[in-house]
């Protein structure tokens, strides 16, 4: 099990979907945050089922808290007070947005309008940069997954 986790961390650190991708202007979080979320999904797709069966296929919404807005990513239904703003060009997931209401230092698995989701501030505000932020998001995705099974 330790070898699987070590391999997954190594793959994540050495093979980011990373900065070679340019985000087209459009809805959603900034490009760097979208890339890190994509990397969290990539890590889960690569290693999820070896850590816990079914984890890699679970739909896990994320609420990202940025400077002045919050972005609800891949939620299964429209959220009250959020406006649908399109599909993120990196994540290829539907995005909803609203004015920021949460603390940007937050990084947890929480209930958002009756839906279990990862709720996380930007890497800068949480103090988790790069791979640490990706692993923290995956950690919270695991907590959300456990509420689904």
CA distance 33 to 29: 6
Our CA angle for 6, 10, 13, nearest 5°, is 140
Burial pattern 93-107, b for ≥16 Cβ within 10 A else e, equals: bbbbbbeeeeebeeb
Q: How confident is the model over 43-100, as pLDDT tens digits?
A: 999 999 998 999 999 999 999 999 999 999 999 999 999 999 999 999 999 999 999 9
CB neighbour list of residue 127: distance below 8 Å, 6 or more residues apart: 105
pLDDT at 5: 52
Q: Tell me the pTM.
A: 0.83
Q: How confident is the model over 107-143, as pLDDT tens digits?
A: 999 999 999 999 999 999 999 989 999 999 999 999 9
Is the pLDDT at 145 greater than 90, yes or no? Answer: yes
Residue 11 belongs to what domain range?
2-148
DSSP letter assigned to residue 30: -
pLDDT band at 148 (very low <50, low <70, confident <90, very high): confident
Is the pLDDT at 8 greater than 90, yes or no? Answer: no
Question: Could you give the number of structural domains in the chain?
Answer: 1
């Amino acid at each position: 099990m330790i070898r699987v986790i070590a391999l997954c961390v190594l793959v994540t650190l050495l093979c980011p979907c990373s900065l070679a991708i340019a985000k087209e202007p459009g809805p959603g979080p900034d490009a760097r945050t979208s890339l890190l979320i994509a990397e969290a999904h990539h890590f889960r797709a690569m290693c999820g089922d070896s850590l816990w069966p079914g984890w890699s296929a679970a739909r896990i919404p994320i609420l990202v808290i940025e400077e002045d807005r919050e972005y609800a990513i891949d939620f299964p239904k429209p959220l009250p007070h959020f406006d649908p703003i399109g599909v993120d060009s990196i994540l290829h997931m539907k995005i909803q947005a609203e004015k920021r209401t949460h603390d940007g230092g937050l990084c947890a698995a929480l209930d958002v309008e009756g839906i279990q989701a990862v709720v996380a501030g930007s890497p800068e505000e949480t103090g988790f940069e790069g791979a640490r932020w990706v692993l923290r998001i995956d950690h919270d995705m695991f907590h959300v997954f456990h509420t689904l099974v």
